[in-house]
């Protein structure tokens, strides 16, 4: 969740949002510290003491990660990245899970696969920016979700993109992921 943006706010609210044990001192909730991530929703939270409870209004326990994708022709109508076949991603993991593939096929469907078994809400939102993608947002809840225990992978597929979109071979795309509620 996200903390409310107006008063009143309590220490119990703050501790619950940031999964801190009861009795954690307010000074522990500085941005970039042990509990409050240094992310976009938290820009108003101080990075050092002093801090007031009202500084945490609207703050959220959301992680962000940016992946740079260099798109390549992967054959069989797919363009993007598949480990060992072509394209590249930097960094090569998403919230600690290795990225196996990010590509668009000729249906057009967008596939995002990580190695390891995770829940559908492992990430909540990805915003893709680049040629043919002007900050288009995809929500993990609006996808066909496949957790494949035999293959030890988890895949999100966005089917039949409307309007049809494709990655352009040789172009670089920015994929901004968040793991918190949208």
Give pLDDT tens digits for 101-155: 999 998 899 999 999 988 888 898 999 999 989 888 999 888 888 887 677 899 9
Query: pLDDT over 90 for what percent of the chain?
Result: 71
Which of the 8 DSSP states describes residue 122? G
Residue 149, pLDDT score: 65
Residue 145, pLDDT score: 87
Model confidence band, residue 182 (pLDDT cutoffs 50, 70, 90): very low
Q: Within a 10 A sphere around the Cβ of 146, how many other Cβ atoms?
A: 14
> What are the φ and ψ backbone dihedral angles of 168, each rounded to 5 degrees?
-100, 130
Average of per-residue pLDDT across 90-94: 95
- Note the pTM of the prediction, 2 decimals: 0.83
d(CA 80, CA 102): 6
Which helix (H) or strand (E) element contains residue 139? strand 133-139
């Amino acid at each position: 969740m996200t903390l409310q943006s107006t008063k009143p706010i309590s220490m119990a609210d703050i501790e619950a949002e940031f999964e801190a044990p009861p009795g954690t001192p307010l000074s522990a909730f500085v941005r970039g510290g042990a509990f409050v991530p240094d992310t976009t929703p938290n820009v108003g939270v101080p990075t050092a003491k002093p801090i007031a409870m009202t500084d945490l209004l609207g703050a959220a326990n959301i992680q962000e990660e940016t992946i740079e994708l260099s798109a390549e022709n992967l054959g069989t109508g797919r363009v993007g990245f598949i480990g060992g076949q072509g394209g590249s991603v930097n960094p090569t993991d998403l919230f600690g899970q290795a990225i196996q593939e990010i590509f668009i096929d000729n249906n057009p469907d967008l596939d995002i696969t990580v190695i390891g078994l995770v829940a559908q809400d492992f990430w909540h939102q990805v915003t893709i920016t680049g040629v043919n993608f002007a900050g288009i947002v995809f929500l993990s809840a609006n996808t066909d979700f496949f957790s494949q225990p035999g293959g030890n992978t988890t895949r999100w597929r966005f089917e039949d993109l409307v309007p049809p979109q494709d990655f352009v071979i040789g172009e670089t795309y920015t994929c901004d992921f968040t793991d918190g509620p949208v």
